[in-house]
Structure 1
């Protein structure tokens, strides 16, 4: 029976060595798992922070886009109104010039047709 006992002791030693190796591998794997869990937690924190930052940036961008749109509308309306003012000013200026021209003609002494005829021929009767 000593052979059987020796074989049994040999098997037992191999089993202990195998179990020790498996436990060592498990501990190594547990270390990797803890590192990856820590990395995942760190990355989730970054994702959360970036999501918050993205949301704030999107809201700010939306406000800026709305403000720019309002400014664009105001500029377009102002330019259109300014164009109308320029047109009206030109019309008013034309009317003023015509009025001045007509007022100048009205204030000139009216000559008779006889005076015009004599002035054209260079003769005048006294």
Structure 2
């Protein structure tokens, strides 16, 4: 019976050692889990900060695009008005040249010019 007790004691010692090893593995895994949770929390905070920055940049970009579109509209209207002015100036110049040319051919003006 003492031999069975010794065998049983050997099994018990081995079992205790296995349990202790499992407890150490669990503690190590708990440390790794804690580190991973801290890293996750840190990354989530960084994502939140980046999302807020992205939202600000998007709003700023939208305002700038709207301003540019308004400037494009004003520029197009101004260029169109300027082209009308150029056309009108050209027409006025042509009319004036014709009038001056026809005045040179009238007898009264020829005598006044000489």
Pairwise TM-score range, normalised by the shorter structure: 0.7 to 0.9
Alignment size in residue pairs: 109
CA distance in 2, matches of 1:64, 1:108: 64
Q: Superposed, which structure 2 residues align to 1:52-67 within 5 Å? A: 52-67=52-67
CA distance in 2, matches of 1:32, 1:18: 21
Tell me the TM-score normalised to structure 1 length. 0.80
Q: Superposed, which structure 2 residues align to 1:62-81 within 5 Å? A: 62-81=62-81
Q: Secondary structure at the match of 1:91?
A: helix
Using the TM superposition, give the Cα deviation of residue 103 of structure 1 relative to its aligned residue in structure 2, in angstroms.
3.3
More helix by share: 2
CA distance in 2, matches of 1:61, 1:91: 44
Using the TM superposition, give the Cα deviation of residue 101 of structure 1 relative to its aligned residue in structure 2, in angstroms.
2.7
Which position in structure 2 is the counterpart of 1:47?
Answer: 47
Structure possessing the higher radius of gyration over alpha carbons: 1
Using the TM superposition, give the Cα deviation of residue 75 of structure 1 relative to its aligned residue in structure 2, in angstroms.
0.8
2:109 aligns with one of 83, 87, 107 = 107
Q: Tell me, which stretches of 5 or more residues in structure 2 are unaligned?
A: none
Q: Superposed, which structure 2 residues align to 1:9-24 within 5 Å? A: 9-24=9-24
Tell me the TM-score normalised to structure 2 length. 0.88
Which position in structure 1 is the counterpart of 2:28?
Answer: 28
Using the TM superposition, give the Cα deviation of residue 102 of structure 1 relative to its aligned residue in structure 2, in angstroms.
3.1
Using the TM superposition, give the Cα deviation of residue 14 of structure 1 relative to its aligned residue in structure 2, in angstroms.
0.7
User: Which portions of structure 1, spanning 4 or more consecutive aligned residues, are displaced by more than 3 angstroms?
Assistant: none
CA distance in 2, matches of 1:90, 1:18: 103
Of structures 1 and 2, the one with the larger relative CO (CA 8 A, separation 6+) is 1
CA distance in 1, matches of 2:90, 2:8: 119
